[in-house]
Amino acid sequence: MEITGAKILFTIPILGGIKVSETIVNTWLVIVFLFVLIKIFTWRIEKIPNGKQALAEKFVLFIENLVKENTGKTGNKFAAYVGTSFLLSIMCSLSSLVGLRPPTADLATTLSWAAIVFFIIQISKIRTLGIKGYLKSFLSPAFIMLPFNIIGEVAVPISMAIRHFCNIFVGCVIGSLMGVFLTFLSTAVLGNLGVSVPIFKVGLPAILSLYFDLFGSFIQAFVFIMLTMVFVGQAIETEE
């Protein structure tokens, strides 16, 4: 077997051929699914909420409270961004459950998301410190710290991206490896008895999937948004 990156599904024949990978197409599917899900959950919202509306309200308030606690921001936009980030991340990771290659198992995806977080952090800092103060902050406490400060800033999104990517990707890899290994084991042990079905593949992968796909997806999405909020919160607090 071979562990590879995302398959390239088709190429748009402009600008010298834009390759569209599995990751992008799967993200589109996730977006469509999320759109339908959101539409279902907010279908005919009323003042007295029914079950699914209450769930949607709970989610929105949960995200808002998290944002408020961690950044002190009360604006709708940032909360909506955090909510988006969470939903997209978790749904992308969970897409492995229906046999898709999770878009979050592609560094390009998580790194692009983290880049947005990086921009938000930098913009927040500029807003609170002013452009002069912002540039000066790279020289503190001394001029010599400039490269380290820059590395420190850049390390934030990179570490976020790699953490998210690795967790999901490793989940996929381990799943594949387990599949291969259990098939091999089945054949080796039961092959001589004339059982050609890899019977050992039943059971264990499900438990692993429970951890890597369900639990891991949730945890990684949560960690991703928590880090987003913490770093943005720090950027806002630097003014004090």
Partner 1 sequence: MTNDIVSFSVPDIVFTWLNLLVIFLIVKKFLFKPIKGIIEKRQKEVKDMYLRAEQAEKKAQNLEAQYTELLTKARLEAAEIVKNATEAAQSKADTIVEQAKVKAMELLEKTQAQIQREKDESLREAFNKVSDVVLITASKLIEKEMTMEDHKEIIEKILNDVKTEVR
Residues that bind partner 1 (CB under 8 A): 3-8, 18-21, 23-24, 27-28, 31, 34-35, 38-39, 41-42, 45-47, 49, 53, 56-57, 59-61, 76-77, 79-81, 83-84, 87-88, 106-109, 111-113, 115-116, 169
Q: Minimum Å distance from CB 93 to partner 1?
A: 14
Q: Minimum Å distance from CB 1 to partner 1?
A: 13
Spatial separation of the C-alpha atoms in residues 73 and 185, rounded to whole Å: 54
Taking the least distance from each CB to partner 1, the nearer of 15 and 98 is 15
Residue bearing tokens 């943005």 = 232
DSSP 165-197: HHHHHHHHHHHHHHHHHHHHHHHHHHGGGT--S
Q: Minimum Å distance from CB 161 to partner 1?
A: 10
Residue 101, CA atoms < 13 Å, CB-side half-sphere: 20
Taking the least distance from each CB to partner 1, the nearer of 17 and 141 is 17
Taking the least distance from each CB to partner 1, the nearer of 116 and 139 is 116
Taking the least distance from each CB to partner 1, the nearer of 101 and 125 is 101
What amino acid occupies position 223? V
Per residue, the 3-state secondary structure of 105-118, as one string, reads HCHHHHHHHHHHHH
Taking the least distance from each CB to partner 1, the nearer of 19 and 127 is 19
Cβ 225 vs Cβ 82: under 8 Å? yes
Taking the least distance from each CB to partner 1, the nearer of 56 and 134 is 56
Q: Minimum Å distance from CB 99 to partner 1?
A: 17
Q: Minimum Å distance from CB 189 to partner 1?
A: 32
Give the DSSP letter of residue 100: P
Give the DSSP letter of residue 141: S
Q: Minimum Å distance from CB 159 to partner 1?
A: 15
Question: Which residue, 70, 83, 66, 158, is CA-closest to 114?
Answer: 158
